[in-house]
Amino acid sequence: MADFDPKRIRRTILDMAYSGKTVHIGCAFSIVELLAVLYRTHLRFPDDNPRHEHRDYMVLSKGHGVMAQYACLGEKGWLSDEALHNYFKNGSALKGLADTHIPGVEVTSGSLGHGLSVGTGLALAAKLSKTDQKCFAIVGDGEINEGPIWEAALFATHFKLDNLVVIVDANGFQAMGTTDEVMALGNIESKFAAFGFDAVTIDGHDEDSIDETVRKLCDTQNGRPKALIAQTVKGKGVSFMEHDNIWHYTRLNETTYADAIAELGAAA
């Protein structure tokens, strides 16, 4: 049984990034615990089928963190070690941003501000069909600069989509700097609350807290959509990557790869 050990997920991400000579490591590291808890405990896939019509939906609206989702799909057994290892090889399937052609990936993202609307449609479909399916949508704090995020927030409240859980990966960075420097967001929790969400802010790396909060939010079927503001660290897990936005763009070399793997230690 996959246990979604965050250390192993981060090692998988490092292996992908190193073998694929690719970027966005920091974006993936900040959402590891969030995805681990969701896949381990909360997301339901009948018949273990990522495309089952009654599945819960894991929408990665901030497609830049997709390596973390690929690693989790590997833990699920839906992606082979070979597929993960061949990341970015010519002719391979896994692309550098979330892509619906991969079973388990619900939206094609990377162009930001799309996924939450699609997720809102999925949540509405579940309500119309009177199923108990949930939709979790992870958006970046940088991503919520995009207007459609707030269109979706209005819509979700208006249509009483309490089966929609928006998770804001609040790592405090976007491409060109901190969110404060680029486009100050103010209090994210109070913004979602003002839109009519049940909103709560937690440590996005504390698995127990994530688990407990998601459970509580999902159990509160009061007609209000949910927002979990996850305070995270971009690059979490490797000391020289943490809070350093250079790891949005930097590729691993032999030394940094070895150092990062060594820091993560043995996976459980």
Partner 1 sequence: MRDAFSNALVAAAKADPKVLLLTGDHGYALFDAFRKACPDQYINCGIAEQNMVGVAAGLAKAGYRPVVYGLAAFVPVRVVEQIKIDICYEQLPVILIGDGAGVVYSHLGASHQSFEDISVLRPIPHLSIYSPADRHELTASMDAMFASKSACYMRMGKADLGDVHEGPVTAESAIINVRDEKETTLIIATGSGVNTALQIADSLGGAAVYSVPRIKPFTAADLGPVIGGRKRIIVIEEHSVHGGLASTIAELIVGKFQGQFHAYGVRDQFSETCGDYRHLMQEHGLSAQAIMHDLEAA
Applying CB under 8 A, the residues found at the interface with partner 1 are 53, 100, 106-108, 111, 113-126, 128-129, 147-148, 151-152, 154-155, 158-159
Buried b (16+ CB within 10 A) or exposed e, 229-245: bbbbbbbbbbeebbeeb
- Whole-number minimum distance, CB 36 to partner 1, in Å? 25
Q: Is 200 helix (H, G, I), strand (E, B) or coil?
A: strand
- Whole-number minimum distance, CB 6 to partner 1, in Å? 29
For partner 1, the closer CB: 102 or 241:
102
* DSSP 3-state percent helix, strand, coil across the chain (nearest 5): 45, 10, 45
Facing residues of 201 across strands? 229
- Whole-number minimum distance, CB 149 to partner 1, in Å? 9
For partner 1, the closer CB: 115 or 204:
115
For partner 1, the closer CB: 130 or 208:
130
- Whole-number minimum distance, CB 166 to partner 1, in Å? 13
Give the Cα separation of 66 and 70 in Å (integer). 6
Spatial contact of 173 and 234, defined as CB atoms under 8 Å apart: yes
- Whole-number minimum distance, CB 171 to partner 1, in Å? 24
Give the Cα separation of 242 and 235 in Å (integer). 4
For partner 1, the closer CB: 14 or 123:
123
Phi, psi (degrees; rounded to nearest 5) at 5: -65, 120
Give the Cα separation of 220 and 226 in Å (integer). 9
Spatial contact of 177 and 245, defined as CB atoms under 8 Å apart: yes
For partner 1, the closer CB: 121 or 196:
121
**DSSP of 69-101, one letter per residue?**
HHHHHHHHTSS-HHHHHTTT-TT-S--SS--TT
Closest CA to 161 of 231, 57, 54: 57
- Whole-number minimum distance, CB 107 to partner 1, in Å? 7
- Whole-number minimum distance, CB 150 to partner 1, in Å? 9
For partner 1, the closer CB: 125 or 176:
125
For partner 1, the closer CB: 35 or 116:
116
